[in-house]
Amino acid sequence: MIKNIAVLAGDGIGPEVMKEAIKVLDVIAFKTGVTFNYTNALVGASAIDSENNPFPDSTKLICKSSDAILFGAIGDPKYDNNPKAKIRPEDGLLEMRKFLGLYANVRPVQTYNSLIDASPLKREIIENVDFVVYRELTGGIYFGEKGASDDGSVVFDTCTYTREEIERISELAFKEAYKRNKELTLVDKANVLSTSRLWREVVQDMAKNKFSDIKVNYLFVDNAAMKIITNPSEFDVILTENMFGDIITDEASVITGSLGMLPSASIGNKISLFEPIHGSYPQAAGKNIANPMAMILSAAMMLNLAFDMKKEADIIQNSVRDALDSNIVTEDISSKKSLSTSEVGDWISKRIDVLF
Ligand code: IPM
Ligand code: MG
């Protein structure tokens, strides 16, 4: 089997954590006989620097002709504090999502026993947390009509959703609920927004006509934000629109104790992309101190979801868990005895070799 992987390391710590994910994939390739063909492509601030475009045509082509995309991170502080910047690294990410039709962002939130004391929440609240957020990724206020008055003193961003856009991600979320505890929570703001009312209508129809075995809960986003802190273990599958999903997945990611642990998948009809949630962490770039685990776990998600290699994905996950239990961690997890990015990647690679 040959799999073509587009490798978009991106900015900040992206290239360093990507290197470790490739290291791990190379072990999997060696063990299974599968060939992974990696093609590097530019994205984000590094693509602006060299091509003046955060998602250049050459990258589009490489993505389109691959079986899956591994993505590191994008973002650079030089753009964050300049609201007048004409081109931004984030534009590349949004264009990529739209261009490749990556409509469903899947973000699992899990606790690791050895990290529970690193959580900002009390042990009894965070124990047993295991849920997944399905965030719509190519609609809503991110992509609706935008505009400004001539003098720039009035601006607007529009939130738009079609029934089809809601249905296709809801379908994935319902199916995931089937595989898990048969419970789905739609997070919206149906007491205020008409788009949210359409979400409710569509999800209610689907629950009635197609997925009657699934128990569906409806929660306003402000209330959901509270419950993620006060009672996160009550959630199983959360389904939500683009902007709410952006906010609650950041919230959900920190309650587990380390942002450096969480992978994600962005699913499209033809191709899917796999990336860590943590972002470019520019302060750590080039220092070999960033946590590579979320990137490695994103590669595991790719094996499972894009290449149907669940056994191999499980071995990677178990190796990461073993690394944590053996205190083989970077400084975000243990400031006392920490290892470098590449040392953690080396250990995990060797562990995979043993577990295989
Ligand atoms: C994310 C990020 C992006 C988003 C930014 C970088 C545009 O926060 O993937 O969650 O808002 O979707
Ligand atoms: Mg975000």
pLDDT tens figures, 221-264 = 999 999 999 999 999 999 999 999 999 999 998 998 878 899 99
Choosing from 256, 288, 306, the residue where a domain stops is 256
Region of 308 (left: φ > 0; alpha: ψ -120 to 50; beta: rest) is left
Strands (E), the chain: 2-10, 35-40, 68-73, 102-110, 130-136, 146-148, 155-157, 183-188, 215-220, 237-240, 263-268, 272-276
Structure confidence by residue, pLDDT tens digits, 93-140 = 999 999 999 999 999 999 988 889 889 999 999 999 999 999 999 999
Residue 110, in any domain of the structure: no
Verify whether ligand 1 is closer than 6 Å to residue 95 (CB atom).
no
The pLDDT, as a whole number, for residue 183 is: 97
Give Cα 274 distance to the centre of its chain.
7
How far are the Cα atoms of 322, 332, 346 from residue 351, in angstroms, in the given order? 8, 21, 9
Instruction: Say whether 43 sits in a helix, a strand or coil.
Output: coil
Do 49 and 160 belong to one domain? no
Do 216 and 285 belong to one domain? no
CB 129 within 8 A of CB 232: yes
Verify whether ligand 1 is closer than 6 Å to residue 90 (CB atom).
yes
- Surrounding ion ligand 2 within 5 Å at CB are 246
Do 124 and 252 belong to one domain? yes
Strand partners of residue 275: 264
Computed on alpha carbons and rounded to an integer, the radius of gyration of the chain in Å comes to 20
Cα within 13 Å of Cα(122), Cβ side: 4
Least-confidence region, from 224-228, 240-244, 312-316, 328-332: 328-332
| C-alpha 246 – ligand 1 centre gap (Å) | 6
Least-confidence region, from 234-238, 304-308, 330-334: 330-334
| C-alpha 170 – ligand 1 centre gap (Å) | 20
CATH code for the domain of 39: 3.40.718.10
Residue nearest to atom 7 of ligand 1 (CA): 90
Residue nearest to atom 6 of ligand 1 (CA): 90
Range of the domain at 303: 1-101+259-356
Residue nearest to atom 5 of ligand 1 (CA): 90
Q: What is the pTM of this model?
A: 0.94
How large is the greatest C-alpha to C-alpha distance in the chain, in angstroms?
Answer: 65
Residue nearest to atom 2 of ligand 1 (CA): 246
Residue 229, in any domain of the structure: yes
Do 237 and 263 belong to one domain? no
The pLDDT, as a whole number, for residue 258 is: 75
Do 210 and 289 belong to one domain? no
Residue numbers annotated as active site: 142, 189, 222, 246, 250
Choosing from 256, 290, 308, the residue where a domain stops is 256
Alpha-carbon distance of 20 to 12, in angstroms, equals: 15
Choosing from 256, 274, 291, the residue where a domain stops is 256
| C-alpha 318 – ligand 2 centre gap (Å) | 27
Tokens 């073993």 found at:
322
How many domains are contained in the chain?
A: 2
Residue 112, in any domain of the structure: no
User: Per the structure block, which two tokens stand in for 153?
Assistant: 């003193």
